[in-house]
Structure 1
Amino acid sequence: MSGKRITRMLTIAALAVIPMTLVTTGSASAHGYTNSPASRAYHCNQGSAQDCGAIQWEPHSVEGPKGFPEAGPADGSICAGGNTRFAELDDPRGGAWPATDVSGGQDFTFRWHLTARHVTTSFRYFVTRDGWDPGQPLTRAALEPEPFLYVDGQNQQPPADVSHSGTLPNKSGRHLILSVWDIADTGNAFYQCADVEF
């Protein structure tokens, strides 16, 4: 067999391996979502929101670049984590997403269900400012600048079901809570938007 033919066969074999490497070294296929308050992704999965697209089958996959709010998903695509496959989550639906009833100043238990338990930097919870427009896609300017609840993940692997207790801010009317799960060992975070009625 000639040297050129051997080189060609090795090149073809190497090219065949590259796609398999890309498939097997990508991020895990499942991660986590919030069910208290119920996120938009969770409502889609449970059927209490319709016309949701692919997110209805994978509410745990709203993953995007970490570093929010300085980095991360662009304004208008925060609820989908910047992932165009889940763009339905960024549609405000005229403020008609199902909402969880809460009270300003109440103690509340935030819950995540994790389908892949990544080593964690933190969990952070943001809320929209007074006077924000629930008929518009979520932007950084619509959120209070600091999270109202911060939980240090201590670079540990959390359990499959995670609960955080905190006090809700004093708000009234319709708002949105953005939950951000910052992963320690990847460049990504998980984003969940939950509509609430104070």
Structure 2
Amino acid sequence: MKSRRIAALVAGALAAPVIAVALPSGQAFAHGYVSNPPSRQAQCAKNVVRCGAIKYEPQSVEGPKGLRSCNGGLAQFAELNDDNKGWKVTNVGRTTTFSWTFTARHRTSSYEYYVGNTRVAYFDGHNQVPGATVSHSVNLPPGRQKVLAIWNIGDTANAFYACIDVNVQ
């Protein structure tokens, strides 16, 4: 009887990691951000700028559609809204390619890019699931700009947000 108990315990210990990996994941494994030019959360993840929790999950700036904030309305990522934090500014041309990196992909309604309150680009996602990366060429006004990039999800009421600091030459 004792050997059966030990065998059951060993089998359970061996199966636990497999079960944990196979279970549905929560929001921690979500979703996507602009990696190039480096968004504010990408800079945090690479220790370019000292940051809090966003450093560990740059892909998780998810909030309701329609926001215009760098942190997607999430208090734990409020530092992304701080324009005086020392974000690295990337020199770019008038037409700049923005590359999204996805860690979990969703059907996509659209992508939007804003400078201030002006939408400077819109791309229809055709409610398709994107590949591991997606890139868009966007025309920008000259000078130092904070670009807000938004990935609108097609099958939820949420979007993902990323701010990118650029100097358009």
Q: State the TM-score, normalizing by the size of structure 1.
A: 0.68
> Aligned equivalents of 1:177 and 1:65: distance in 2?
19
1:99 aligns with one of 79, 89, 98: 89
Cα distance, 1:167 vs structure 2: 2.2
Higher strand proportion:
2
Q: How far 1:27 moved relative to its partner? A: 4.5
- Shift in Å at residue 171 of structure 1? 2.1
Which residue does the alignment assign to 1:159? 131
CA contact (8 A) 2:28 2:60 kept: no
Q: Provide, for residues 13-58 of structure 1, a one-character-per-residue CA deviation record: whole Å limited to 9, x for no partner.
A: xxxxxxxxxxx696563100101221000000011111x1000000
* Gap runs ≥5 in structure 1: 1-23, 129-142
Alpha-carbon distance between aligned partners in 2 of 1:185 and 1:85, rounded to the nearest angstrom: 25
Q: 1:31 to 1:62 in 2, by over 3 A?
A: same
**Is 1:81 aligned to residue 44 of structure 2?**
no
- The whole-number CA distance in structure 1 between the counterparts of 2:134 and 2:83 is 27
Counterpart of 1:124, as a letter, is: E
CA contact (8 A) 1:36 1:111 kept: yes
Q: Of 120, 124, 139, which aligns to 2:112?
A: 124
Following TM superposition, the consecutive aligned residue runs of length 4 or more in structure 1 with deviations greater than 3 angstroms are 24-28
1:32 maps to 32
Tell me, in whole angstroms, the C-alpha distance in 2 between the residues paired with 1:25 and 1:31: 12
Alignment-mate amino acid for residue 142 of structure 2: K
SS at structure 2 position matched to 1:195: strand
SS of the residue corresponding to residue 42 of structure 1 reads: helix
Are residues 1:54 and 2:53 paired? yes
Is the 8 Å Cα contact of residues 142 and 167 (structure 2) preserved in structure 1? no
Deviation at 1:195, TM superposition (A): 0.8
Q: CA deviation at 1:156?
A: 0.3
Structure 1 residues 98 and 176, CA gap change in structure 2 (3 angstroms): same
- Residue matched to 1:194: 164
Among all aligned residue pairs of Structure 1 and Structure 2, give the percentage whose two residues are the same amino acid: 48
Give the conservation status (yes or no) of the 8 Å contact 1:28–1:116. no
Pairs aligned (count)? 145
- For 2:28 and 2:127, locate their aligned partners in 1 and report how far apart those are by CA, in whole Å: 18
